[in-house]
Structure 1
Amino acid sequence: MTKLFPLPLFLLPGGRAKLRIFEPRYLRLVRECSANQEGFVLAMMQGKRLYKYGTLVDIVDFETLSDGLLGITIAGRQRVEILSTDQEADKLWVGDIRALNDWPHDEYLDDDQADDKAHIAAGLKHVFAAHPEHAEQYEAAPFDDLTWSCQRWLEILPLSNAQKQWFIAQESAEEAKQFISQLLEEEVE
């Protein structure tokens, strides 16, 4: 069974985030995942149950924070469907998961799609410039990758958990691209 970490944080493949770890069950999760060189699933909760979709993440860095707590940096690897869940004695969530295919990347675009790509990338660059805490997660942000840019937008937009679950369940970035393009057009008007 895969370890599950319920957080209100939404992360998709290619995304990165920093976490503060202090609860004993999550310290165990980090210790065991690191020792076994395996990832864990970042999952969202609805009440006392986990949502159906999450993201398998890898721990890519560790640090001791100024308050003495453990800090980790995680990177999204793959979208997953959570098939079943259970809690261990210390209340750590575990579950059976099924890997979902990655969203296709945009190798061939027509002129309209290229315009959307440029508009979405420019908007994301503007957000990263205004909020360097997002930008600092990425050494070289591939803004020219439409799928990557759409995934980063979905992570930072103030969407409901139900909306996030709907987007993560999609088979491509197409719905996200249309949604983000529409938001950016409305912002300009």
Structure 2
Amino acid sequence: MRLGLFPLPLFLLPGGVTKLRIFEPRYVRLVKEAMHSGNGFVLSMKDGDAICRFGTLVDIIDFEQLPDGLLGITIRGKSRAKIFNVAQEDDKLWVGDVEALGDWPADFESLPDRVTNALKSIFDQHPQHAAQYDDEPADFSDSVWVCQRWLEVLPLENSQKQWFISQDNAEEAKSFIIHLLSD
């Protein structure tokens, strides 16, 4: 399916929630088209001037007019996505053919308590971030969900983020996060 692409340095994975401010006409159009079609759009990253091969298909779950008059939207990651045949339209909106990729299976042992507790602590220290999950409560019992949230908040290079999002399961992410948080 051909969808609009929203290139940002923001990394969001399935189940992740964030808010965006929309002010450029091309992204107002992207939001209108996503709302009209019900297909969402893809949050993508850039490598220089090029759109990266993997992104996240997102749904718009809420919108509001911000105090400054701009459009605010809340998005939730729906699935990882592979992006092909990228082009830029006349108004500079990026579009591409998108293949939704399956969820990471929850087929590994639970994470050590220190990994889950450290993420809970981050949520406690940043209540504005945690508040984004009021409608979709944080699921600290889901190891895949916890790994995905860690990958979103860690300061990783785009190449690292692209490598993790391209994986068929969360095993590498789990190993990386456990190693990173080891005593």
TM-score after normalising by structure 1: 0.92
Moved more, 169-178 or 118-127: 118-127
Q: Which residue of 2 aligns with 1:162?
A: 159
Q: Which residue of 2 aligns with 1:182?
A: 179
Q: Which residue of 1 aligns with 2:56?
A: 55
Paired with 2:101 and 2:86, the residues of 1 have a C-alpha distance of 18
RMSD: 1.1
TM-aligned CA deviation for residue 117 of structure 1:
4.1
The yes-or-no answer on 1:131 pairing with 2:123 is no
The yes-or-no answer on 1:99 pairing with 2:100 is yes
**Could you list the per-position Cα deviations for residues 18-41 of structure 1 after superposition, in whole angstroms to 9, with x for gaps in the alignment?**
000000000011111111212100
Secondary structure, in 3 states, of the residue corresponding to 2:115?
Answer: helix
Paired with 1:181 and 1:55, the residues of 2 have a C-alpha distance of 24
Q: Which residue of 1 aligns with 2:7?
A: 6
Paired with 1:105 and 1:120, the residues of 2 have a C-alpha distance of 16
Select the structure of larger CA radius of gyration.
1
Whether contact under 8 Å (1:87, 1:94) holds in the other structure is yes
Q: Which residue of 1 aligns with 2:115?
A: 120
The yes-or-no answer on 1:36 pairing with 2:32 is no
Evaluate the alpha carbon distance shift between residue 88 and residue 19 of structure 1 in structure 2; reply closer, same or farther with a 3 A threshold: same
Paired with 1:48 and 1:98, the residues of 2 have a C-alpha distance of 22
Identity fraction in percent = 59
Paired residue type of 1:146: S
Paired residue type of 1:32: E
Moved more, 131-140 or 59-68: 131-140
TM-aligned CA deviation for residue 118 of structure 1:
2.5
Runs of 4+ in 1 over 2 A off after TM superposition: 116-119
**Could you list the per-position Cα deviations for residues 77-116 of structure 1 after superposition, in whole angstroms to 9, with x for gaps in the alignment?**
010111110111101011011121110024xx5xxx33x3
Q: Which residue of 2 aligns with 1:89?
A: 90
Paired with 1:184 and 1:132, the residues of 2 have a C-alpha distance of 22
- Unaligned 5+ segments in structure 1 are none
Paired with 1:37 and 1:123, the residues of 2 have a C-alpha distance of 36
Paired with 2:10 and 2:25, the residues of 1 have a C-alpha distance of 20
Paired with 1:72 and 1:99, the residues of 2 have a C-alpha distance of 22
Paired with 1:87 and 1:175, the residues of 2 have a C-alpha distance of 34
- Unaligned 5+ segments in structure 2 are none
Whether contact under 8 Å (1:117, 1:146) holds in the other structure is no
Paired residue type of 1:46: D
